[in-house]
């Protein structure tokens, strides 16, 4: 008799937990990163979301509808290595800038989204420790070139 009264309560709890899990999953897919900073290139300010963890680096800007015009995502790595990026699950085109010790060493412009199975690999071809992703066209608009230096200011 008591167990029949608990079944609806149990179902409500299970469904609530399921809804919470789905909400967390969907929220993580489009999350805005907490660490922020500023990158200056040629005296131009770019507001950046900073990512450092392997999970956040893998996710990057995937599944996001856009970023503001003068915004970007800065990937910071703990070591210098050659690296590859793809346009997996992107919803808008990007410029990708590879950076070694705060100097731009490689630039890819106007890269189109490729869905869940990207075919193009964008290789640094140099040992790098940072990657900056911007809206497509920003490299040209800001006259960013190989050899330009970046100044990085992270929020504390």
The pLDDT assigned to 29 comes to: 47
Round to whole Å and give the CA distance between 7 and 109. 58
The pLDDT assigned to 30 comes to: 46
115-143 confidence digits (pLDDT tens): 899 999 999 999 999 999 999 999 999 99
The pLDDT assigned to 83 comes to: 97
Counting residues of the chain whose pLDDT is more than 90, the rounded percentage is: 75
Domain ranges of the chain: 1-30, 34-154
Domain 34-154 - what CATH class?
mainly beta
**pTM of the prediction?**
0.79
More confident residue, 32 or 106: 106
Kindly state the average pLDDT of the residues 15-29. 62
List, in order, residues 6 or more apart from 91 with CB less than 8 Å away. 63, 64, 65, 66, 113
The answer to whether the Cα torsion of 129, 100, 63, 134 is positive or negative is positive
């Amino acid at each position: 008799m008591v167990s029949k009264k608990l079944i609806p309560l149990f179902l409500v709890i299970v469904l609530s937990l399921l809804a919470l899990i789905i909400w967390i999953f969907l929220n993580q897919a489009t999350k805005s990163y907490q660490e922020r900073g500023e990158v200056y290139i040629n005296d131009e300010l770019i507001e950046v979301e900073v990512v450092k963890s392997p999970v956040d680096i893998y996710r990057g800007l995937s599944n996001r509808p856009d970023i503001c015009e003068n915004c970007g995502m800065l990937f910071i790595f703990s070591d210098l290595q050659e690296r590859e990026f793809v346009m997996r699950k992107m919803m808008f085109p990007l410029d990708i800038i590879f950076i070694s010790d705060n100097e731009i060493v490689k630039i890819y412009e106007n890269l189109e989204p490729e869905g869940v199975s990207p075919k193009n690999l964008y290789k640094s071809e140099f040992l790098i420790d940072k990657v900056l992703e911007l809206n497509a066209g920003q490299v040209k608009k800001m006259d960013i070139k190989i050899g330009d230096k970046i100044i990085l200011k992270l929020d504390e």
